[in-house]
């Protein structure tokens, strides 16, 4: 099961995030839904991808903590901008990882 941060970001085009989270956690199809995660790639802060990719066991096992959910690719991009804006307002730096550190499950 993928890890979700507490109080993850939800885009405006998502009607019922908890229902979608349950569907994703149980490996069901969620067409058109995108997830935002912290990146494990050096030099990148975040990544977004189609939630249906987590139906693959290998991707599911190595998925970074999910920090946001969106209803389209453009909405996921806007969510990344919002997260970075919140990080800048909260810490004075455009760095999402330290800003979200307390909300990441251990």
Give me the residue spans of the domains in the chain: 4-103
Q: Burial of 69 by CB count in 10 Å (0-12 exposed, 13-18 middle, 19+ buried)?
A: buried
Q: Enter the tokens of residue 9.
A: 């970001």
Name the H helices within 5-105: 17-25, 57-61, 73-91, 96-100
pLDDT of residue 13: 94
Determine the Cα–Cα distance for residues 25 and 3; give it in Å rounded to an integer.
9
| pLDDT value of residue 45 | 92
Average pLDDT, the chain: 93
């Amino acid at each position: 099961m993928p890890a979700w941060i507490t109080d993850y970001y939800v885009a405006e085009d998502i009607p019922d995030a908890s229902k979608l989270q349950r569907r994703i956690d149980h490996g069901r199809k969620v067409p058109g839904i995108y997830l935002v995660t912290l990146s494990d790639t050096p030099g990148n802060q975040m990544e977004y991808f189609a939630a249906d990719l987590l139906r693959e066991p290998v991707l599911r096992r190595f998925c970074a903590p999910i920090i946001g959910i969106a209803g389209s690719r453009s909405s996921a991009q806007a969510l990344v901008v919002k997260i970075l804006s919140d990080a800048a307002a909260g810490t004075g730096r455009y760095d999402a990882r330290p800003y979200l550190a307390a909300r990441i499950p251990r």
